[in-house]
Structure formats: C-alpha cells, structure tokens
A and B are shown apart, each in its own frame.
Chain A
Amino acid sequence: MAETSKLKTALGLENLKSLGETLKEVKELQATLNESKEALSKLVEGNPIISKAIANYMDAETLNRLKEGDVTALDKLREKLEQENKTLKEGYTALMEENRQLKDSLLTQTLRQIVADEFERRFPQGGGNSGHRTNVEEAIDRLVANRIDTMLGGGNQPNLTAEEIRKMVAEEVEKGNKNKASPTEIVDNIVGLLTAADQVKQRLNIDQGGGRYLPQMAGGLRSDILKILLEDERERLRMQYEHESQTERNKHLGVLASSVRDNLEDIIAASRDMVKEHRESRNEKGEEEPQSEPEEGYQVKCSLCGEISMFSEKPAGIFECPKCHGKLRLQDKPQKPLPQGPQGVGSTLEI
C-alpha cells in the first residue's frame, strides 16, 4: 500500500511537473500573442493604407456577395441598353437618308432654276408669266429629245448605208451559224439590231417621223434582209457548183489521160495489126503496091538532086529546088498514067 501510494505520489508529482511546464508555455504563448497584437495595432495605427485595404477588402466581399446575388438583373439592364442604342442608330440612318434626298432635291431644283433662268435670258418670252413654266419644260424636253435623237443616229446623221447593213448581216449570220441558230432567228436578230434605235425613240415618244426603218419595217426591211441573204446564198451555191464542176472536169481529164496511157501499147499494137491485116488482104486479092503516093496536086521532081516537091496548083515557069536551090525551067511532059488513089487523081510534073 505504501508502495502504491509512493508510486501514486511520484506519478502525481510528475503530472504536476508537466502541468506546471505546460502552464508556463501557455503563459509564454499568451505573452507572445499580446505582443504581436500590440505590434499589429501599432502598425495599423501607424499605416492607414493597410487599414484602408483591409476596409476595402471587406467592401469587395460585400459587393461580390451582392453581384452573385443579382447577375440576372445586370444582364437584363445590358440588353435593354443595347436595344436602345440600336433604335437610336436606325433613327440616325433614316435621318441621314432623308437629309441626302432633301439635298438632291434642292440641287435639282436649283439646277432647274438655273437652266430656266438661263433659257429665259437667252429666249425671252413675250406676254405674261402664265405659260412660262410650261414653255421652259417643253424647251428642255425638246433639247433632251434632240440630244437623244442625235445619239441614236437619227436627226442630221445619215442612215445606215447598204455596206454597213451588209456588214451587220454578215456578222450576225456568222454569229448565228456558230450558235446554230435557225434562219428565222437570225433574221429576227438582224431586224432587232437595225430597228433598235427607232424602237427606243418610239418608246421615248421622240420619234417625229424620222424613223429610218420602223415605218416600213414590217415588210420592207425584212424582205430586204432576206433578199441579201438569198443573194449571198445564191452566190455561195454558184461558187460551190463551179468548184464541183471544175473538180469533176479535172477528174475526167485525169481519167481520160490515164486511160490513154494505160491503153497506149494496145493502141499501137492495134494500129500495126490494122496495117498488117490490110496488107494481107491486099496480097490475098493480088493487088500491086502503088508506085507513087496517091496525092492530090502536082509533084515536081528535081532532075539535079531527085527531090520531090509538092504543089497544090500546077506550077509554071522557073522552079527553084528547095534542097539544092537549082533553078530549072518547068516543061510539061506527056502525062504518065497516075495510079488511082482512094481520094482522087494526082498529077505529076517531071523536069
């Protein structure tokens, strides 16, 4: 028991000792905290920026809390503001447009006024001002009409010449052939081209009888164009026919020449055979070969060189031999009986 109490006492003492140490540590820690608190309070008092930051920190936190709580309200506000901005912009654009139109209108009015004043200055009208505005407008209209008339090729400008029309027709026909258009379409295009100016003038009500093609357009122009096309076509056909006939002719000539060339040997052989057959037939009949040539006319035999010369008429007087150039007087000798040629009787003069 005594040992136990001793042990307990020892343990109690130990515990008390440690407790005393712990208390000592706590006191030291408390003292340190107090010191730091004092230092912090002193620092805060000595430095207002930090104190402000701390205060701000506190405000931001409050604001954040507020923001997180009301995000939807802010979005709605932004949308509303954007819409208002857009409406304002549209209004501004409309105003600008209106302003521009007003400016144009003002400019036109000013120009019109200037033209009217100028016209009035150049062509002063007698009488009151009752018809003044109408006259000016009519004059301006007339000026514009004349200008357009000139631009469209009417007025004092000459009409299209036949050559120009032919050129246009040729171009249009070529274009139509490329596009494989029908002749009717080609003619329609040509008529449209030639009458374009007249049609514009007619629509603008400025055609004062000066139309070049419209008055007789329905029949006249169309038939003229068709005539031109037909003439061209006829010319083309004529040239084609000539070319074909010439080609055919050349072909015939070639065929003819080649047939002669191919048959030349046969022709020669046939000629020889003909002579041979004739000879044989004569020999069979027992006929004699002719001594002299059966010629029409007169033969003169030169007694110097033996050359025989032929004359269609009976020669007389002095004869000059063409070979030896000897001159001889012709004398009629008693005629020898001449062989009967197939073509008639020949006469021979001998010297």
Chain B
Amino acid sequence: MVTSRQELFVQSYIRRVAERQAKRYISAFCQGMPVQDFRYAAEHDLDVVSNLLRRFLLRPGEEKAARKKVAPYRKLVERLADPDTVTRLFSEVSPEHGKVLQEHRSWLERQIRSGLAALFAT
C-alpha cells in the first residue's frame, strides 16, 4: 500500500509525541526505581508489567472497559513496545537501566509479550 507524505508525517509526528511522553514516564520510573532493584527483577524474571497492569489498569471488573479504551491505540502501543525501541528509550533516559535491558533482553521480550496479551486480551 502506498503511503502518502502526509500520512507518513502524521505517523512520524504521533510516534515522536508518544516517544516524548513515554520518555518522561521512563525518566520518572528510573528516578524512583534503583538500578539494583531493576536488575534484580530482571535477573529473577519477575513479572513486573503484568502485575502492574492488573493492579492499576486492569482491575477486576474493569478489564472490559479498560480494554475498550485501549483498543484504538493497539498499533501505536505495539510499535512503541518494540524491544529495541524500549531499550533505546531507556538508554537515552538512563543508560544504566538501558544496559540492564540490553543484558536481559529475553526478560524484556517476555514482559512485553505478557503485557500486550493482558492489555489486548490476545
């Protein structure tokens, strides 16, 4: 399918805006979460993302409504949740956390996979 310049620009713009927002959140996360704890979670394969989702977004009884809200952004979320992109964003904000993700890439992939499955019920 041929994509027009305008559509490409819009996609790029949305991606940049979303990345900027995501970096703000990652920065706040990295400031609050010590590298040791982060590394510990990676080393021990803690299922952090699913737990957080269940606790804050997909609370019991609210899953359906939350999934309905998130459904329109599936592509955007999936694009942003690419392991390389996540690693890059972490590395740009906090290189130490980024390094942990580089070293534990399989853990990151599993986290993303389980997170997306929980979010979009796939």
Query: Which of A60-68, A139-147, A293-301 lies at the interface?
Result: A293-301
Of B21, B51, B103, which one neighbours A293 at CB under 8 angstroms?
B103
Check A268 against B29 for contact (C-beta < 8 Å): yes
Give chain B nearest CB distance to A274 CB in angstroms.
Answer: 6
Are B51's CB and A268's CB within 8 A?
no
| Cβ of B9 under 8 Å from chain A | no
Whether B84 sits at the interface, judged by CB under 8 Å, is no
A/B pair count, beta carbons within 8 Å = 76
The CA of A272 and the CA of B41, in the complex, are separated in Å by 9
B25, B34, B107: the one contacting A264 at CB < 8 Å is B25
> Which parts of A221-270 form the interface with B (CB within 8 Å)?
249, 252-253, 255-257, 259-261, 263-270
Q: Which of B40, B70, B107 interacts with A256 by CB under 8 Å?
A: B70
Give the one of A259, A271, A295 with max B CB within 10 A: A271
Alpha-carbon distance between A343 and B73 when the two chains are bound, in angstroms: 31
Q: Are B103 and A272 in contact (CB under 8 A)?
A: no
Q: Is A69 an interface residue (CB 8 A)?
A: no
* Residues of chain A contacted by B45 (CB below 8 angstroms): 294, 341-343
Q: Does A310 contact B (CB under 8 A)?
A: yes
Bound complex: CA A293 to CA B34 (Å)? 18
Which chain A residues numbered 108 to 129 have a C-beta less than 8 Å away from chain B?
none
CB of A270 within 8 A of CB of B25, answer no
| A267: B residues at CB distance < 8 A | 29, 52, 56
Is B117 close to A, CB under 8 A? no
- Asked if B16 lies at the interface with its beta carbon under 8 angstroms from chain A, I say no
Are B29 and A275 within 8 A (Cβ)? no
Q: Are A293 and B44 in contact (CB under 8 A)?
A: no
Smallest CB–CB gap between B108 and chain A, Å?
Answer: 12
Interface residue? B104 (CB, 8 A): yes
Within B30-79, which residues are at the interface with A (CB < 8 Å)? 32-34, 37, 40-41, 43-46, 48, 51-52, 55-57, 69-70, 72-73
User: Given contacts A257-B21, A263-B56, A343-B45, are A274 and B104 in contact (CB under 8 A)?
Assistant: no
- A278 and B52 contacting across the interface, CB-CB below 8 Å: no
Which residues of chain B have C-beta atoms less than 8 A from A261's C-beta?
Answer: 25
* Chain A neighbourhood of B11, CB < 8 A: none
A327 within 8 A of B: no
Nearest CB of B to A40, in Å? 131
Q: Which of A255, A263, A282, A296 has a CB less than 8 Å from the CB of B69?
A: A255
Q: Roughly how many angstroms separate A261 CA and B51 CA in the complex, as a whole number? A: 18
Q: Tell whether A290 is near chain B: CB-to-CB under 8 Å.
A: yes
Among residues of B, the one whose C-beta sits closest to the C-beta of A282 is B44
Given A274-B51, A296-B106, CB of A268 within 8 Å of CB of B69: no
B31 to chain A, nearest CB (A): 8
- State A256–B34 Cα separation when bound (angstroms): 26
In the bound assembly, the distance between CA atoms of A26 and B36 in angstroms comes to 173
Q: Is the CB of B37 within 8 A of A342?
A: no
Do A271 and B33 touch across chains, with their CB atoms under 8 A apart?
A: yes
Q: Does B55 contact A310, Cβ atoms closer than 8 Å?
A: no
> Once the chains bind, are B29 and A264 in contact (CB under 8 Å)?
yes
Q: What is the CB-to-nearest-CB distance from A81 to chain B, in angstroms, rounded to a whole number?
A: 97
- CB-based contact A275/B37 at 8 Å: yes
**Contact A266:B56 (CB < 8 A) given known A275-B41, A275-B46, A293-B103:** yes
The contact sample of 12 A-B pairs, CB cut-off 8 A, is A256-B70, A259-B57, A261-B25, A264-B29, A267-B29, A270-B52, A271-B48, A278-B44, A290-B44, A293-B104, A294-B43, A310-B103
Query: What is B's interface to A at a CB cutoff of 8 Å?
Result: 21, 25, 28-29, 32-34, 37, 40-41, 43-46, 48, 51-52, 55-57, 69-70, 72-73, 103-104, 106-107, 110
Given contacts A264-B25, A265-B32, A274-B46, 13 further A-B contacts (CB under 8 A): A252-B72, A253-B73, A256-B73, A261-B25, A263-B56, A264-B29, A271-B33, A278-B40, A282-B44, A290-B44, A293-B103, A295-B106, A343-B106
